């Protein structure tokens, strides 16, 4: 079993609706994202999945979040754009590009700061 990961980031604004504190006001973060793909076997080049493939898929998803007001994003109209919900959004949107017989998305970690974040492992 192999866990292949890449790290990336995006910047965006948001606010948490009905939050009992200052996070209810609009603010922004430089989110750090780590995506891990689990591979059960290696390909003929000795790789579980090419880092480039993972990076391209992640970049495609993060382009939809980067430098946006996440509260205006279609997927966050009825739910708060919390780190937890952002991790689920990224995980779900990677499924098509990062799923095959021998590998699939294992987890997505989203950090608002260097000291706080969340990891989602899927349903």
Predicted confidence at residue 106, as pLDDT, reads 98
As a dihedral over the C-alpha atoms of residue 84, residue 86, residue 91, residue 96, rounded to 10 degrees, the angle is 160
Is the predicted pLDDT of residue 37 greater than 90, yes or no?
A: yes
Number of domains within the chain: 1
pTM above 0.95, yes or no: yes
- Catalytic entry in 24, 41, 67, 72: 67
Q: What is the mean pLDDT of the chain?
A: 97
Q: CATH number of the domain that 87 lies in? A: 3.30.479.10
Q: How confident is the model at residue 112 (pLDDT cuts 50, 70, 90)?
A: very high
Residue 123 has pLDDT above 90, yes or no: no
Annotated active-site residue 63? The verdict is no
Checking if the pLDDT of 105 tops 90, the result is yes
- With residues binned 3-state (H G I as helix, E B as strand, rest as coil), the percentages for the chain, rounded to 5, are 25, 35, 40
67 belongs to the catalytic site: yes
Q: In the predicted model, is pLDDT for residue 34 greater than 90?
A: yes
112 is catalytic: yes
Which residue range is the domain that position 21 belongs to?
Answer: 2-120
From the candidates 29, 106, 111, 112, give the one annotated as an active-site residue.
112
User: Which is catalytic among the residues 23, 34, 73, 84?
Assistant: 23
């Amino acid at each position: 079993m192999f866990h292949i990961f890449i790290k990336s980031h995006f910047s965006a604004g948001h606010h948490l609706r009905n939050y009992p504190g200052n996070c209810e006001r609009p603010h922004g973060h430089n989110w750090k994202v780590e995506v891990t793909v689990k591979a059960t076997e290696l390909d003929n080049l000795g790789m579980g999945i090419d880092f480039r493939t993972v990076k391209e898929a992640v970049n495609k998803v993060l382009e939809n979040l980067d430098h946006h007001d996440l509260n205006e994003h279609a997927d966050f109209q009825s739910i708060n754009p919390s780190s937890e919900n952002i991790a689920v959004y990224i995980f779900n949107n990677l499924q098509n590009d990062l799923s095959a017989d021998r590998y699939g998305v294992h987890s997505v970690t989203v950090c608002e700061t260097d000291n706080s974040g969340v990891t989602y492992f899927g349903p």
